[in-house]
Amino acid sequence: MTPTELKEFLDSKVMLYNNFNFIESDPISIPHKFQLKEDIEISGFLAAIIAWGNRKSIINNANKMMDYLGNSPYDFVMNHSDSHLDPLENFVHRTFNGLDFKSFIKSLKHIYTNHGGLEAIFSTPSKNGSLQTNISDFKSIFFEIDHLSRTEKHVSDPLKGSAAKRINMFLRWMIRQDNAGVDFGLWKDVSPSLLSCPLDVHSGNVARKLGLLNRKQNDAKAVMELDKSLRALDKDDPVKYDFALFGLGVFEKF
């Protein structure tokens, strides 16, 4: 395909998949259960953090997380006592267990109490035209308080080579305004042009088949390369193509 044909092809797939019907079978369905800004942020963050493996299992377990939090995640985060945290030890999703869950709740309280919330951290000026340094800074802040060392593996750091797929996906949800009712566009002070595509096996394989990505590993360098390709297609809203790449890979087996 010519560059023009490729853009037209991908734009058509964005139109196909970036719609309200996408929500039900995607982890973004979890934050869509809430209305309060902070509830959307916290539920979205927790759902994104466990978003690996079988999608049905991800959604089921993210719903269980919300049940443990009384389906009022912000209130639970800000007002929990140690005894409220004890039942969380029963939670498990793959390698993310109840001890990690408890640590995350404590870290989220620290962020909302001492750092102005999740949005404030990611709204600091970006470097090199992306949010990857912000993600690294976020990890440092997230683990400022006492925590289990094992829990650190559940927050990726792009500056250490990670594609940070789950956090990039969470940032897409919070920042991108798609007018289709899927992404929330809650964080108005961060430009969608700074977002990076959540790179996983599906989006990576499709991107390589379409000539958008040459690097074989799905790592931070691959994210940078894919960023460049997608921004050439739409500099203002590059990660809208996440819908196209994901849909082609998962639903069309492209």
133 vs 128: CA distance, rounded Å? 9
- The residue written with tokens 């962020």 in the block is 111
The pLDDT of 86-91, averaged and rounded, is 96
Where in the chain are the domains?
A: 3-251
> What's the pLDDT tens digit per position in 178-211?
889 999 999 999 999 999 999 999 999 999 999 9
More confident residue, 124 or 153: 153
> What's the pLDDT tens digit per position in 66-79?
999 999 999 999 99
> What's the pLDDT tens digit per position in 112-122?
999 999 999 99
Return the closest-CA partner of residue 230 out of 220, 221, 242.
Answer: 242
Percent of the chain whose pLDDT exceeds 90: 93
Confidence of residue 127 (pLDDT cuts 50, 70, 90): confident
Give me the pLDDT at residue 122, please: 94
Single-letter code of the amino acid located at 139: K
Give me the pLDDT at residue 11, please: 97
> What's the pLDDT tens digit per position in 35-62?
999 999 999 999 999 999 899 999 999 9
The pLDDT of 228-237, averaged and rounded, is 97
Q: Is the pLDDT of residue 128 over 90?
A: no
Confidence of residue 125 (pLDDT cuts 50, 70, 90): confident
Give me the pLDDT at residue 124, please: 86
173 vs 190: CA distance, rounded Å? 12
The pLDDT of 148-177, averaged and rounded, is 96
Give me the pLDDT at residue 126, please: 82
Helix (H) or strand (E) holding 28, with range, is none
